[in-house]
Amino acid sequence: DGGITQSPKYLFRKEGQNVTLSCEQNLNHDAMYWYRQDPGQGLRLIYYSQIVNDFQKGDIAEGYSVSREKKESFPLTVTSAQKNPTAFYLCASSKNRAPYEQYFGPGTRLTVT
């Protein structure tokens, strides 16, 4: 079955450590996205990528980095510069044509202490 996988489901890190969240899709989608979700909030866009080897900052990119070396993969690194990294992180993908529906992975809950 086609879909989006994110691993791990739960991740725990000590403050000051960088951590990388995995996102893989086999939907043959060109575009991929990373969102952050905090309690009582909608989703906020961190980074997105329209094609391989290209990505753009979203609304809250500070303290995060991404790479897009393969069409299927879009890992997100939460760096020590991110002041409040504990959150739920969702990866999504879509085609680069109308209606641009985004499909989401199951998410990763990151806890930094």
Which chain residues interact with another protein by CB under 8 A? 31, 33, 40-45, 48, 50, 56, 58-59, 88, 90, 92, 96-107
Six token digits for residue 19: 């951590």
Minimum gap (Å) between residue 17 Cβ and another protein: 24
* Alpha carbon distance 94, 34 (integer Å): 12
Q: How far is CA 22 from CA 38, 96, 107, in A?
A: 19, 22, 10
Q: Which residue has the tokens 């989703």?
A: 43
- The smaller minimum CB distance to another protein, of residues 75 and 107, is found at 107
- The smaller minimum CB distance to another protein, of residues 80 and 95, is found at 95
Minimum gap (Å) between residue 79 Cβ and another protein: 22
Minimum gap (Å) between residue 100 Cβ and another protein: 6
Minimum gap (Å) between residue 36 Cβ and another protein: 11
- The smaller minimum CB distance to another protein, of residues 71 and 80, is found at 71
* Alpha carbon distance 15, 57 (integer Å): 24
Determine phi and psi for 59, rounding to 5 degrees: -75, -25
* Alpha carbon distance 75, 57 (integer Å): 14
- The smaller minimum CB distance to another protein, of residues 84 and 98, is found at 98
